[in-house]
Structure 1
Amino acid sequence: MPDELQSILVQNGGTVTTAQANAVGISNERLRLLIKSGILERVSFGVYVLPNEFIDKMYIAQLQRSKIIYSHETALFLHDLTDRDPLNYSVTVPTGYNAARLRNDGFTVFTIKRELHGLGKMELTTMFGHTVATYSMERTICDCLRSRNQMDIAVVTNAVKRYSLRKDKNLNTLMRMAETFQVAKPLQNYLEVLL
């Protein structure tokens, strides 16, 4: 295996995209030969892993779709604001994004105005050590309150409770976000009970 490709695989936990390989001079034909010889496995369109490497579905989806931001139950999980492993990954995309393939792949998709899509965006590490885009705890709480009719109310209540106990919480940011997303009143109702 070429050293350049080996370097990318080490940096990305055993995963490489066609674009990353092409950028270091590895052609698509060479990738095809590496797959044929069993050195790499194709796990998705344009995404390859080393054999026996555990496939991090969150990371692979992020590699394929740079506009997705993990949100709602998935973001709660990444922030340790819930004990529930998400059955389907929840993502938020800007209005106008064609989410049909995401839904077909089992994702729960939320849309929001383009100007609000990046608000509160940050990066967190999946349980397999890969970095993915997600929303801050404060944005996630507001998203869950906005979508509370589509979510298990016990999950939302537990998330707000866990957030209120965190040392790294920022109530000022939370209140500003709540006003931006028009959930200040429901948030106050939750916080009055918990604080």
Structure 2
Amino acid sequence: MRDKEIERQLYAIASVQQGYFTAYQAKQAGYSDSRFAYHVKKGNWTREGRGIYRLVNYPYGDRPDLVYWSLWSMNRQGKVQGVFSHATALTIHELSDIMPANYHMTVPKGFRRYHPPPENIVLYFENLSKEDLEEYEGYRVTNPKKTIQDVLLDEGFPEDLVAQAILEGLERGILTLDQISELKKGPKSKRLSRILRGIQNHER
């Protein structure tokens, strides 16, 4: 494969990941391990972390940090495992004033890494369905309904912030009353009913 074709294939991969790519993806594009150090030294790539690189001249997009940690969750087959959820998803959807110090990510129940996750990553283990997800540029996030469900299940998450997220979602039209009614039939229905009563009392 010619160098230009290899470069084109890598660019195609990186262009949907805000300029980021993994060593695995570079190899899939046609680069050999021996060329990695060369491209870093020449200033074509930057090494962002273990097995994660970035095209130097690619413009930064929205939340490159989320792209990085999404790629961090990639398995040996080159498939991203992590989906941003809980407090991080609330922030992405702009449903709360909360500014989480850590990244909250849901991964499949069988998720395994050779190295332990860094301290700034909080992992939740659940096999999500496609209906629970939304695709962003280079990362995935739980949709607003699933995000509300997740923070409801987390007893440590403040109820006033759940209420804020519900109100904001309804006002912006990214949550519906039908979805809230569906959540009332699931786990933590009593907690949700209590939060909804608080919202109603506050609006009176």
Shorter-chain TM-score bucket reads 0.7 to 0.9
Query: 2:188 pairs with 164, 183, 187, which one?
Result: 183
1:145 and 2:160 are equivalent in the alignment? no
1:21 aligns to what SS in structure 2?
A: helix
Counterpart-to-counterpart distance in 2, 1:124 and 1:46: 23
Aligned residues: 185
Q: TM-score, normalized by length of structure 1? A: 0.79
Change in CA separation of 1:39 and 1:76 when aligned onto 2, cut-off 3 Å: same
CA contact (8 A) 1:175 1:184 kept: no
1:157 and 2:172 are equivalent in the alignment? no
**1:91 corresponds to which letter in structure 2?**
M
1:85 and 2:95 are equivalent in the alignment? no
**2:176 corresponds to which letter in structure 1?**
N
Other-structure match for 2:77? none
In structure 1, list runs of 5 or more residues that go unmatched.
Answer: none
Change in CA separation of 1:188 and 1:154 when aligned onto 2, cut-off 3 Å: closer
Among the aligned pairs, what percent are the same residue?
24
Counterpart-to-counterpart distance in 2, 1:42 and 1:61: 14
Cα RMSD for the two superposed structures: 2.7
Structure 1 runs of 4+ off > 6 angstroms? Answer: none
Change in CA separation of 1:67 and 1:178 when aligned onto 2, cut-off 3 Å: farther
CA contact (8 A) 2:163 2:199 kept: no
Q: CA deviation at 1:49?
A: 0.9
1:156 aligns to what SS in structure 2?
A: helix
CA deviation profile, 1:5-64 (whole Å, cap 9, x unmatched):
344444432212222222221222122210122221111222101337658221122123
Counterpart-to-counterpart distance in 2, 1:141 and 1:35: 42
1:172 and 2:178 are equivalent in the alignment? yes
Other-structure match for 1:29? 34
In structure 2, list runs of 5 or more residues that go unmatched.
Answer: 74-79
2:100 aligns to what SS in structure 1?
A: coil
Q: CA deviation at 1:86?
A: 2.5
Q: CA deviation at 1:67?
A: 2.1
Counterpart-to-counterpart distance in 2, 1:26 and 1:122: 32
Counterpart-to-counterpart distance in 2, 1:77 and 1:124: 15
1:39 and 2:39 are equivalent in the alignment? no
Taking the TM superposition and a 5 Å limit, the aligned residue runs for 1:8-23 are 8-23=13-28
Q: CA deviation at 1:178?
A: 4.4
CA contact (8 A) 2:133 2:140 kept: yes
Other-structure match for 1:59? 67
